[in-house]
Amino acid sequence: MAVTSILHLAFTFGILGNIISTMVFLAPVPTFIRIFKKKSTEDFQSLPYLMALFSSMLWLYYAMLKKDTILLVTINSFGCLIETTYIAIYIVYATRESRVSTIKLLISMNMGLFSLILLLAHFLVSGSVRVKVLGWLCVALSVCVFAAPLNILKQVIRTKSVEFMPFTLSFFLTLSAVMWFAYGLLLKDLCVALPNILGFILGLLQMVLYGIYRNAQKVEEKKKLPALKSIVILSAVGGPGIYPVDAEPDVNGGAEEHDQTEESKEDEKSMEASQDKLQSNECAV
Protein backbone atom coordinates (compact mmCIF):
# COMPACT_ATOMS: atom_id res chain seq x y z
CA MET A 1 0.00 0.00 0.00
CA ALA A 2 2.81 2.39 0.94
CA VAL A 3 4.70 1.53 -2.26
CA THR A 4 1.59 2.25 -4.34
CA SER A 5 1.13 5.62 -2.63
CA ILE A 6 4.76 6.55 -3.33
CA LEU A 7 4.37 5.60 -7.01
CA HIS A 8 1.17 7.65 -7.28
CA LEU A 9 2.91 10.63 -5.68
CA ALA A 10 5.91 10.25 -7.99
CA PHE A 11 3.56 10.08 -10.99
CA THR A 12 1.86 13.30 -9.82
CA PHE A 13 5.19 15.12 -9.55
CA GLY A 14 6.17 13.74 -12.97
CA ILE A 15 2.94 15.03 -14.55
CA LEU A 16 3.52 18.49 -13.05
CA GLY A 17 7.14 18.35 -14.22
CA ASN A 18 5.97 17.51 -17.74
CA ILE A 19 3.55 20.44 -17.80
CA ILE A 20 6.10 22.96 -16.52
CA SER A 21 8.89 21.62 -18.75
CA THR A 22 6.58 21.90 -21.76
CA MET A 23 5.99 25.58 -20.94
CA VAL A 24 9.75 26.10 -20.66
CA PHE A 25 10.36 24.34 -23.99
CA LEU A 26 7.87 26.74 -25.57
CA ALA A 27 9.54 29.82 -24.04
CA PRO A 28 11.65 30.59 -27.18
CA VAL A 29 8.55 30.71 -29.42
CA PRO A 30 8.42 34.57 -29.35
CA THR A 31 12.07 34.61 -30.41
CA PHE A 32 11.34 32.47 -33.47
CA ILE A 33 8.23 34.48 -34.32
CA ARG A 34 10.52 37.50 -34.37
CA ILE A 35 13.05 35.63 -36.55
CA PHE A 36 10.28 34.58 -38.94
CA LYS A 37 8.92 38.13 -39.25
CA LYS A 38 12.34 39.73 -39.74
CA LYS A 39 13.63 36.85 -41.92
CA SER A 40 16.86 37.05 -39.93
CA THR A 41 18.38 35.33 -36.89
CA GLU A 42 20.12 38.61 -35.92
CA ASP A 43 22.59 38.00 -33.05
CA PHE A 44 20.92 34.83 -31.75
CA GLN A 45 23.06 31.70 -31.61
CA SER A 46 22.09 28.13 -32.49
CA LEU A 47 24.27 26.42 -29.86
CA PRO A 48 21.66 26.54 -27.05
CA TYR A 49 19.12 24.69 -29.22
CA LEU A 50 21.67 22.14 -30.40
CA MET A 51 22.68 21.47 -26.80
CA ALA A 52 19.04 21.19 -25.71
CA LEU A 53 18.36 18.73 -28.55
CA PHE A 54 21.43 16.64 -27.67
CA SER A 55 20.40 16.53 -24.01
CA SER A 56 16.82 15.52 -24.86
CA MET A 57 18.10 12.76 -27.14
CA LEU A 58 20.38 11.42 -24.42
CA TRP A 59 17.66 11.54 -21.74
CA LEU A 60 15.22 9.90 -24.13
CA TYR A 61 17.61 7.01 -24.75
CA TYR A 62 18.16 6.66 -20.99
CA ALA A 63 14.40 6.66 -20.33
CA MET A 64 13.72 4.06 -23.02
CA LEU A 65 16.21 1.67 -21.41
CA LYS A 66 14.53 1.93 -18.02
CA LYS A 67 11.15 0.53 -17.01
CA ASP A 68 8.09 2.61 -16.10
CA THR A 69 9.55 5.94 -17.25
CA ILE A 70 6.79 6.98 -19.65
CA LEU A 71 6.85 10.55 -18.29
CA LEU A 72 10.54 10.92 -19.11
CA VAL A 73 9.89 9.50 -22.57
CA THR A 74 7.01 11.90 -23.31
CA ILE A 75 8.71 15.13 -22.20
CA ASN A 76 12.01 14.38 -23.94
CA SER A 77 10.22 13.23 -27.11
CA PHE A 78 8.47 16.60 -27.15
CA GLY A 79 11.83 18.25 -26.47
CA CYS A 80 13.42 16.53 -29.47
CA LEU A 81 10.51 17.60 -31.69
CA ILE A 82 10.39 21.24 -30.62
CA GLU A 83 14.19 21.71 -30.63
CA THR A 84 14.43 20.19 -34.10
CA THR A 85 11.78 22.69 -35.23
CA TYR A 86 13.72 25.60 -33.72
CA ILE A 87 16.96 24.47 -35.39
CA ALA A 88 15.24 24.05 -38.77
CA ILE A 89 13.83 27.59 -38.60
CA TYR A 90 17.22 28.91 -37.54
CA ILE A 91 18.98 27.24 -40.48
CA VAL A 92 16.45 28.67 -42.94
CA TYR A 93 16.88 32.30 -41.83
CA ALA A 94 20.53 32.30 -40.69
CA THR A 95 23.37 33.87 -42.65
CA ARG A 96 25.47 31.54 -44.78
CA GLU A 97 28.28 31.45 -42.21
CA SER A 98 25.90 30.73 -39.30
CA ARG A 99 24.01 28.15 -41.34
CA VAL A 100 27.19 26.25 -42.21
CA SER A 101 28.48 26.26 -38.62
CA THR A 102 25.06 25.14 -37.31
CA ILE A 103 24.89 22.23 -39.77
CA LYS A 104 28.46 21.20 -38.89
CA LEU A 105 27.63 21.17 -35.17
CA LEU A 106 24.38 19.31 -35.83
CA ILE A 107 26.20 16.59 -37.77
CA SER A 108 29.21 16.31 -35.43
CA MET A 109 27.45 16.52 -32.06
CA ASN A 110 23.79 15.56 -32.46
CA MET A 111 24.45 12.84 -35.02
CA GLY A 112 28.11 11.82 -34.70
CA LEU A 113 28.67 12.02 -30.95
CA PHE A 114 25.23 10.63 -30.10
CA SER A 115 25.74 7.71 -32.50
CA LEU A 116 29.13 7.02 -30.91
CA ILE A 117 27.57 6.96 -27.43
CA LEU A 118 24.82 4.70 -28.74
CA LEU A 119 27.29 2.20 -30.23
CA LEU A 120 29.63 2.19 -27.23
CA ALA A 121 26.74 1.73 -24.81
CA HIS A 122 25.33 -1.10 -26.92
CA PHE A 123 28.53 -3.09 -27.47
CA LEU A 124 30.71 -2.35 -24.42
CA VAL A 125 28.16 -2.53 -21.60
CA SER A 126 24.89 -4.36 -21.10
CA GLY A 127 21.87 -4.63 -18.84
CA SER A 128 21.70 -2.50 -15.72
CA VAL A 129 25.29 -1.30 -16.21
CA ARG A 130 24.34 0.31 -19.52
CA VAL A 131 21.50 2.21 -17.82
CA LYS A 132 23.81 3.44 -15.07
CA VAL A 133 26.50 4.55 -17.53
CA LEU A 134 23.96 6.49 -19.61
CA GLY A 135 22.39 7.96 -16.49
CA TRP A 136 25.69 9.34 -15.25
CA LEU A 137 26.49 10.67 -18.72
CA CYS A 138 23.21 12.60 -18.54
CA VAL A 139 24.16 13.89 -15.09
CA ALA A 140 27.60 15.03 -16.34
CA LEU A 141 26.04 16.82 -19.31
CA SER A 142 23.49 18.54 -17.07
CA VAL A 143 26.17 19.76 -14.66
CA CYS A 144 28.29 21.13 -17.54
CA VAL A 145 25.34 23.02 -19.00
CA PHE A 146 24.22 24.29 -15.60
CA ALA A 147 27.64 25.89 -15.11
CA ALA A 148 27.20 28.12 -18.18
CA PRO A 149 24.71 30.65 -16.68
CA LEU A 150 27.13 31.48 -13.85
CA ASN A 151 28.79 34.03 -16.14
CA ILE A 152 25.40 35.60 -16.82
CA LEU A 153 24.66 35.85 -13.10
CA LYS A 154 28.04 37.57 -12.68
CA GLN A 155 27.02 39.97 -15.45
CA VAL A 156 23.76 40.76 -13.64
CA ILE A 157 25.65 41.57 -10.44
CA ARG A 158 28.17 43.71 -12.31
CA THR A 159 25.60 45.71 -14.28
CA LYS A 160 22.95 45.74 -11.53
CA SER A 161 20.39 45.07 -14.24
CA VAL A 162 17.88 42.21 -14.62
CA GLU A 163 16.72 43.39 -18.04
CA PHE A 164 17.63 40.05 -19.63
CA MET A 165 16.56 37.82 -16.74
CA PRO A 166 12.74 37.53 -16.68
CA PHE A 167 11.43 36.51 -13.28
CA THR A 168 8.57 34.36 -14.62
CA LEU A 169 10.85 32.05 -16.58
CA SER A 170 13.30 31.76 -13.68
CA PHE A 171 10.40 30.88 -11.38
CA PHE A 172 9.09 28.12 -13.65
CA LEU A 173 12.59 26.72 -14.13
CA THR A 174 13.03 26.50 -10.36
CA LEU A 175 9.60 24.93 -9.97
CA SER A 176 10.42 22.41 -12.70
CA ALA A 177 13.64 21.44 -10.92
CA VAL A 178 11.67 20.85 -7.70
CA MET A 179 9.15 18.60 -9.46
CA TRP A 180 11.76 16.47 -11.21
CA PHE A 181 13.87 16.24 -8.06
CA ALA A 182 10.86 14.92 -6.14
CA TYR A 183 10.06 12.52 -9.00
CA GLY A 184 13.61 11.14 -9.06
CA LEU A 185 13.84 10.95 -5.26
CA LEU A 186 10.57 9.02 -4.88
CA LEU A 187 11.58 6.57 -7.62
CA LYS A 188 15.11 6.35 -6.16
CA ASP A 189 16.59 7.51 -9.47
CA LEU A 190 19.64 9.58 -8.50
CA CYS A 191 20.42 10.39 -12.13
CA VAL A 192 17.18 12.37 -12.31
CA ALA A 193 17.25 13.80 -8.79
CA LEU A 194 20.87 14.99 -8.46
CA PRO A 195 21.10 17.43 -11.42
CA ASN A 196 17.89 19.12 -10.35
CA ILE A 197 19.38 20.00 -6.96
CA LEU A 198 21.86 22.21 -8.81
CA GLY A 199 19.05 23.45 -11.06
CA PHE A 200 17.01 24.45 -8.01
CA ILE A 201 19.96 26.29 -6.40
CA LEU A 202 20.77 28.26 -9.56
CA GLY A 203 17.11 29.02 -10.22
CA LEU A 204 16.69 30.27 -6.65
CA LEU A 205 19.83 32.39 -7.04
CA GLN A 206 18.35 33.97 -10.18
CA MET A 207 15.18 34.92 -8.32
CA VAL A 208 17.18 36.34 -5.39
CA LEU A 209 19.24 38.48 -7.77
CA TYR A 210 16.04 39.61 -9.46
CA GLY A 211 14.67 40.72 -6.09
CA ILE A 212 17.89 42.59 -5.25
CA TYR A 213 18.41 44.39 -8.57
CA ARG A 214 14.80 44.73 -9.73
CA ASN A 215 14.63 48.44 -8.85
CA ALA A 216 18.35 49.18 -8.96
CA GLN A 217 19.60 51.99 -11.17
CA LYS A 218 21.46 50.90 -14.27
CA VAL A 219 25.16 51.63 -14.16
CA GLU A 220 27.19 53.14 -16.94
CA GLU A 221 29.12 49.89 -17.43
CA LYS A 222 25.98 48.28 -18.86
CA LYS A 223 26.30 50.48 -21.93
CA LYS A 224 29.76 49.07 -22.62
CA LEU A 225 28.69 45.44 -22.40
CA PRO A 226 27.48 43.46 -25.40
CA ALA A 227 23.76 42.79 -25.61
CA LEU A 228 22.86 39.72 -23.56
CA LYS A 229 20.32 37.37 -25.01
CA SER A 230 20.87 34.10 -23.16
CA ILE A 231 20.33 33.92 -19.47
CA VAL A 232 18.46 30.94 -18.10
CA ILE A 233 18.78 27.20 -17.72
CA LEU A 234 16.30 24.47 -18.33
CA SER A 235 15.37 21.56 -16.12
CA ALA A 236 17.90 18.74 -16.25
CA VAL A 237 15.29 16.26 -17.42
CA GLY A 238 13.61 18.70 -19.77
CA GLY A 239 16.69 19.27 -21.87
CA PRO A 240 19.07 21.69 -20.16
CA GLY A 241 20.26 24.64 -22.16
CA ILE A 242 20.59 28.39 -22.22
CA TYR A 243 17.73 29.97 -24.05
CA PRO A 244 17.91 33.37 -25.76
CA VAL A 245 15.43 35.94 -24.55
CA ASP A 246 13.53 38.06 -27.03
CA ALA A 247 14.56 41.42 -25.62
CA GLU A 248 15.09 44.50 -27.75
CA PRO A 249 16.86 47.62 -26.51
CA ASP A 250 14.72 50.55 -25.45
CA VAL A 251 14.97 52.68 -28.56
CA ASN A 252 12.65 55.40 -27.30
CA GLY A 253 14.47 55.56 -24.01
CA GLY A 254 17.76 55.95 -25.82
CA ALA A 255 16.30 58.70 -28.03
CA GLU A 256 14.98 60.58 -24.98
CA GLU A 257 18.34 60.31 -23.26
CA HIS A 258 20.03 61.62 -26.41
CA ASP A 259 17.61 64.57 -26.57
CA GLN A 260 18.20 65.37 -22.90
CA THR A 261 21.95 65.32 -23.50
CA GLU A 262 21.62 67.68 -26.47
CA GLU A 263 19.42 70.03 -24.45
CA SER A 264 21.90 70.09 -21.56
CA LYS A 265 24.71 70.91 -23.99
CA GLU A 266 22.70 73.78 -25.47
CA ASP A 267 21.93 75.11 -21.97
CA GLU A 268 25.62 75.03 -21.09
CA LYS A 269 26.49 76.92 -24.27
CA SER A 270 23.84 79.58 -23.61
CA MET A 271 25.09 80.03 -20.02
CA GLU A 272 28.67 80.43 -21.23
CA ALA A 273 27.53 82.97 -23.81
CA SER A 274 25.65 84.91 -21.12
CA GLN A 275 28.70 84.95 -18.87
CA ASP A 276 30.90 86.20 -21.72
CA LYS A 277 28.38 88.93 -22.47
CA LEU A 278 28.30 90.07 -18.84
CA GLN A 279 32.10 90.14 -18.71
CA SER A 280 32.26 92.23 -21.87
CA ASN A 281 29.68 94.67 -20.46
CA GLU A 282 31.70 95.04 -17.25
CA CYS A 283 34.82 95.81 -19.26
CA ALA A 284 32.94 98.45 -21.22
CA VAL A 285 31.85 100.19 -18.03
> Does the global pTM surpass 0.85?
no
Chain centre distance of CA 53: 13
pLDDT digits (tens, 9 = 90+) for 42-98: 878 888 899 889 999 999 999 998 887 899 999 999 999 999 999 999 999 999 999
Q: What is the pLDDT at residue 266?
A: 54
Closest CA to 102 of 112, 90, 113: 90
| Cβ atoms of 226 and 249 closer than 8 Å | no
pLDDT digits (tens, 9 = 90+) for 224-261: 444 445 444 445 554 444 455 454 444 444 444 445 44
What CA–CA distance (Å, rounded) separates 147 from 169? Answer: 18
If one compares 118 and 145, the residue with the highest pLDDT of the two is 118
| Cβ atoms of 229 and 245 closer than 8 Å | yes
